[in-house]
Chain A
């Protein structure tokens, strides 16, 4: 069975400092992994996705994530936070080889301090 755990419900960083949002997953097969961002009163927007190609995935707005199979992790990072990054971030897992549901993490609220 699939599952995904976002280790922090809230993360606060100062503008200009690095961002790290942690995600661990559990999957019986070869997973696809995604990060989505949700700004207030908006729908979800795809940031990046991992689909068994390069383990370091670059996304939009300077975000990237590294798939580490040995650690079953897919942490999201950004070198320098911007005020506009304040939002909720969701880590998502699904199995490539099964007709299974997509599983969302509980979300991490990112706060950017001026």
Chain B
């Protein structure tokens, strides 16, 4: 079974631009979660999508948004980029998505650098 894939792997943008990141979950997994990882803040939860609906949301500004398609693929969008948005963005999929017994499977991440 193919793992979670994320594209692109690396991205360089400038302040004020917007960016879209993509995540393809493991086949059969219906939940996709997004995380931001920075040296200072560690791993922070952005949001979770399940069956095309946002089910949970972290404490990020509205510039961060996402969506999920009928095939469970998910995209994350960041508008009006700031220097502080430079981070590794990780996507994780799970079968059902409740934060219980179903562990998450992580993709390799997209490294975003904002100049």
Chain A interfacial positions (CB closer than 8 Å to B): 32, 34, 36, 41-46, 49, 51, 90, 94-107
Contacts and interface: CB of A to CB of B under 8 A. Distances in A.
B42 A102 contact: no
26 contacts: A34-B103, A41-B108, A43-B108, A44-B90, A44-B104, A45-B106, A46-B103, A46-B104, A46-B105, A49-B101, A51-B100, A94-B99, A94-B100, A95-B100, A97-B100, A99-B56, A99-B99, A101-B48, A101-B56, A101-B58, A101-B99, A102-B45, A102-B99, A104-B43, A104-B44, A105-B42
Contacts of B4: 43
B25 interface: no
Contacts of A49: 101, 103
B8 to A, nearest CB: 14
Contacts of B42: 104-107
Chain B interface residue number, banded: 20 to 34
B108 A42 contact: yes
Contacts of B55: 99
